[in-house]
Amino acid sequence: METKVQLARKYGADCFHLHSYFSGTDHAGDPSKVIATVSHRNTEELKLVRQAYCALYNQDILHLLSQKNSLFARVVYLRVSEPHERDAEIVRGALFGSSLDLDTLTEVICTRPSAGLRIVREAYRSRYMSDLDEDVSFKINGSSLKEVLLAVLKSCRYAGARVEAGMAMCDAKTLYEAIESGKHVDQRSIVSILGQRSTDQMKAILCSYRELYGHDFLKFLKKDKCGAFGKQLRVVVRCIQSPEKQLAKRLRRALMNSDAREALIRIVVTRSEIDIERINGAFTAKSRWSLDGVIRNEFNNNSTSHTERDYNLVGDVLVALLKHY
């Protein structure tokens, strides 16, 4: 493990650029250096930058950033944060913000692998002294989505379990029977499988389903008798099976609403070292626009006002993350 002196020497320039730009009120530093730091350093390196900053300036860089009334500072804050802490904060905001944001809640809970989701739950409990499962149950009323989300949260207990091909085949048959065997969908059986299988095992089940019946499970969920449950379950299954396609779809829909900027920030930052290139590809395939172009359109303009300059910097960060990862 590197000492404080070694960290300060190795990441001192990064810390200096962050400090000189964000510590005062006049932003005397060079924002391009800040952008280079947060886009070129990976998650592990940014963790060391935080440690070095604390050693050099006796202050938590995240605390400093959180005090700034700036969207650019907010994006840097999200990027520098530990991924599981960031996800816990996003989920908390989706649950207890100005309005309940089920789309973002579903996005985070259902696109994370079981091992990652388990750490997010732990971070949520530690930070907010509250149980994520209980908060989801409390905030979502009278919706089958609540059962599905709680099942996915429960499934993270099985993180790391070996993928069983035989079990996947059996579960695929159970899913088929749950939809096809009667006049009504057997929601209990479907939710039970979701709650007892890791994301890796669920992917194996969905592959087995396609092998057995020649179609994706998603296609069967479009049947009229699946109703609202089927519609909600389709989103969750897409998140598990093909997160890059679901996130690309989320971005396309956001562009038609008023939350495009927030969605772009959240998805580009949280997926920058995971699958942002595949998300970009899926987005372009359906819309014929590149995320680069969309970001430029949403954030960049020629205005010289302070607010618009702030937006320009946010756009520059997001484009840099797209190009680097």
Lowest-pLDDT choice from 159-173, 261-275, 287-301: 287-301
* Number of domains forming the structure of the chain: 3
Q: Let me know: does 191 contact 145? Beta carbons within 8 Å.
A: no
| 176 and 41 in a common domain | no
- Per-residue model confidence as pLDDT tens digits over 188-229: 999 999 999 999 999 999 999 999 999 999 988 887 778 889
Asked if 94 and 236 sit in the same domain, the reply is yes
Among 241, 267, 299, where does a domain finish?
241
Cα-to-chain-centroid distance, residue 169: 30
Residues 66 and 182 placed together within one structural domain of the fold: no
Domain end (from 201, 219, 241): 241
Regarding whether 53 and 194 lie in a shared domain, the answer is: no
Is 24 among the annotated ligand-binding positions?
yes
Q: How far apart are CA 197 and CA 158, in angstroms?
A: 6
Average pLDDT over residues 299-311: 76
How much of the chain, in percent, has pLDDT values that exceed 90? Answer: 83
Final residue in a domain of this structure, among 81, 97, 123? 81
pLDDT digits (tens, 9 = 90+) for 53-80: 999 999 999 999 999 999 999 999 999 9
CATH no. for residue 316?
Answer: 1.10.220.10
Is the confidence at residue 258, as pLDDT, over 90? no
Q: Are residues 305 and 211 in the same domain?
A: no
Q: Is the pLDDT of residue 281 over 70?
A: yes
Are 100 and 72 contained in the same domain? no
Q: Do residue 181 and residue 219 come from a single domain?
A: yes
Answer yes or no: do 136 and 229 share one domain: yes
Confidence of residue 184 (pLDDT cuts 50, 70, 90): confident
pLDDT score, position 4:
66
Same-domain check for residues 69 and 130: no
- pLDDT on residue 302: 58
Sign of CA dihedral 109, 112, 113, 115: negative
pLDDT at residue number 225: 79
Mean residue pLDDT of the chain comes to 93
Q: Are 151 and 263 part of one and the same domain?
A: no
Clarify whether residues 51 and 131 are in a common domain. no
Task: Give the CB-side neighbour count of residue 69, counting CA atoms within 13 A.
Answer: 4
User: Residue 308 has what pLDDT?
Assistant: 81
* Residue pLDDT, tens place only, 11-52: 999 999 999 999 976 667 899 999 999 999 999 999 999 999
* Segments forming the whole domain that contains residue 66: 4-81
The verdict on 90 and 221 lying in the same domain is yes
| pTM given for the model | 0.94
CA-to-CA distance for 308 and 294, rounded, in angstroms?
16
